Amino acid sequence: MKKRIGLLFCSLLLVMGTIFAGCSGQSETGGEQNPGQAADQPVASGKKGELTIGVVGDPHSWDPIDTFLLDWSTIATSVFEGLVERTVDLKIQPGLAESWEFTDDKTLQFKLRKGVTFHNGEPFNAEAVKFTFDRLLGEEGAKGPQQANYASIDRVEVVDEYTVNMILKEKDPVLITKLAGYGAVIVPPKYIQEKGDEYFNTHPVGTGPFKMESYEKDNQVVLVKNENYWREGLPKLDKVTFRIIPEATTRLAELNTGAIDIMKKVEISQVSSVEKNENLELMTVGSPTVYAIRFNTKMKPVDDVRVREAIAHAIDVDLLIETILGGYGKRINTFQSDMSFGHDPSIPLREYNPEKAKQLLAEAGVKEGTELEFYFPGTDATFKEIAQAVEIQLAEVGLKVKLNPVDNSTFISELIPNGKAGHMYRQGWGGWTLDFDNTAYLMYHKGEFWNPDFYDEKVEELLAAERSTFDQDKRLEIFKELDRRLYELVPEVPLYQSINLWAVNKRVKGFQPPADERIDLKEVTVE
């Protein structure tokens, strides 16, 4: 009976959300204008060799050491390159380095690619690599969020014009993967020294297949073909325009009229409209991003593990995925995706069991009607529906939830890191290295930016142990033990692993939506 009641409430929320979305032209729930007409409207053809993509946000700085945002990577992956790179199918391969090897435990040597130039004509060489890491690991890098990812590097030494040695302070089993990340892309020394960091923020120069022609903040970015790109015959496009359109409704309207060719982040409510339009293709891709409800483990009553476990049993996650996500989500057992090395599929999913939840709350001495504050970004329309459903489900076990939608920037920059995001809050995490180290260390290690409150001595021991060896079999066993320990402690309720939705005009060929949202446009063409 409880299951049916939950389904009724969630379905009602879904219907109400759709009604409200239709009343607001600025809603991010994605309710489209005149959805019944979209399939009959012809999609206009743009110019051959030119592509326009509708994206959600502007990172506001193009300097790779200043950001951790996916909005940056979606665009800037076409401008910058690192020593190694990750393909669309998430494989590591040579980039600006042709090869690498450990010459001893703490020396990683790279042989660099010859004949590569930056967009301004400056040569790529060992000095550029040294400059990049001196800057990343120095005072300028300390101002941004990327430096912490490369703390295991002590310095870079030039061996000759096309050879560098990376000297490590300590072992780092995830370093090669990290070097395919944002902060480690190679930047031009002379250009930055002459123009300055502030100018570089808005006029970036890299070695990538496209160079930035213009940038209008919060409006659009125009990239043009790098005629001197080191990969012969690439890129195939002459021009790519990224239009920054935060509202999903507007993005879809622009797609339907042909003003954009690719739409990032199709909302669940827009799926049927895209599928009805014969000129468009809906493309889905699994994502490493996992969403969870995190707890502030210092706040009563969620400082008690029994209360946290009770909340986990009180939430019908399968129902949320079915009714609110429309099935576009995957149930997950821990706060890391199944794409991540260290994920343990043997850990059971917690069952929906409101009676057990009530029992645990009673054992913990929690009175009926106890209020919990639940924070989440107000711009995340889909999660707002999830939060409303969670509010109803927790009410069924006697907990009163106060929903607090807040500005996203305030949420991630101030509330979470300062432990002011209530008893529980939405947390999404991609673990971009696809290694549990990235999630585990930043989420559970004492004192990290994203972990203002959680601490467990055993967890600390396991985190230190996994970083002490390059043996992947040993690391996997350590991670499995860590998974089990975290499962017992319940620092969060894992909800679902994302499935990202893209809409693409059928005149676009060779586009593959990336799991990590880093678009590779080198082989893309437009008919």
For residue 424, give the nearest of 374, 466, 355, 384 by alpha carbon.
Answer: 374
Indicate whether 33 pLDDT > 90.
no
Question: Percentage of the chain surpassing pLDDT 90?
Answer: 77
Indicate whether 269 pLDDT > 90.
no
- Please report whether residue 28 resides in a domain: no
Same domain membership, residue 97 and residue 6: no
Strand ranges inside 342-474, DSSP E? 370-377, 399-406, 424-429
- Number of folded domains that form the chain: 2
For residue 215, give the nearest of 189, 241, 253 by alpha carbon.
Answer: 241
Helical residues (DSSP H) of 54-188, grouped into ranges: 70-76, 126-137, 139-142, 175-178
Question: Checking phi first, is residue 287 left (phi over 0); if not, alpha (psi -120 to 50) or beta?
Answer: beta
- Over residues 122-128, the mean pLDDT reads 98
Same domain membership, residue 162 and residue 299: no
pLDDT of residue 46: 60
**Residue 153's domain is classified under what CATH number?**
3.90.76.10
Question: Percentage of the chain surpassing pLDDT 70?
Answer: 91
Same domain membership, residue 393 and residue 291: yes
pLDDT of residue 442: 87
Please give the model's pTM, rounded to 2 decimal places.
0.81
pLDDT of residue 145: 83
Same domain membership, residue 117 and residue 8: no
Same domain membership, residue 300 and residue 178: no
* pLDDT per position as a tens digit, 56-75: 989 889 999 998 788 999 99
**Residue 365's domain is classified under what CATH number?**
3.10.105.10
Omega of the bond leading into 235 within 30 degrees of 0 (cis)? yes
Range with the poorest average pLDDT among 44-53, 137-146, 181-190: 44-53
* pLDDT per position as a tens digit, 275-321: 999 999 999 999 999 999 999 999 999 999 999 999 999 999 999 99
Q: From the CB of residue 315, how many other CB atoms can be counted at a distance below 10 Å?
A: 23
pLDDT of residue 321: 97
Indicate the average pLDDT of the chain. Answer: 90
Same domain membership, residue 111 and residue 11: no
Omega of the bond leading into 64 within 30 degrees of 0 (cis)? no
- Please report whether residue 62 resides in a domain: no
- Over residues 89-93, the mean pLDDT reads 89
Helix, strand, coil % over all residues of the chain, rounded to 5:
35, 25, 40
Indicate whether 30 pLDDT > 80.
no
Which of 188, 208, 223 terminates a domain? The answer is 188
More confident of the two residues 25 and 488:
488
- Over residues 377-399, the mean pLDDT reads 94
Indicate whether 32 pLDDT > 60.
no
* pLDDT per position as a tens digit, 330-365: 999 999 999 999 999 999 999 999 999 999 999 999
- Please report whether residue 92 resides in a domain: yes
- Please report whether residue 436 resides in a domain: yes
Indicate whether 31 pLDDT > 60.
no
Same domain membership, residue 118 and residue 9: no
pLDDT of residue 441: 87
394 to 165, 282, 354, 381: CA distances (angstroms): 55, 35, 9, 20
Same domain membership, residue 407 and residue 299: yes
- Over residues 21-42, the mean pLDDT reads 36
Same domain membership, residue 429 and residue 327: yes
* pLDDT per position as a tens digit, 186-244: 999 999 999 999 999 999 999 999 999 999 999 999 999 999 999 999 999 999 999 99
- Please report whether residue 438 resides in a domain: yes
* pLDDT per position as a tens digit, 405-451: 998 878 988 999 999 999 999 999 888 888 999 889 889 999 888 89
Q: Which domain holds residue 322?
A: 2-16+286-499
- Over residues 173-183, the mean pLDDT reads 91
* DSSP reduced 3-state for 213: strand
- Please report whether residue 65 resides in a domain: no
- Please report whether residue 280 resides in a domain: no
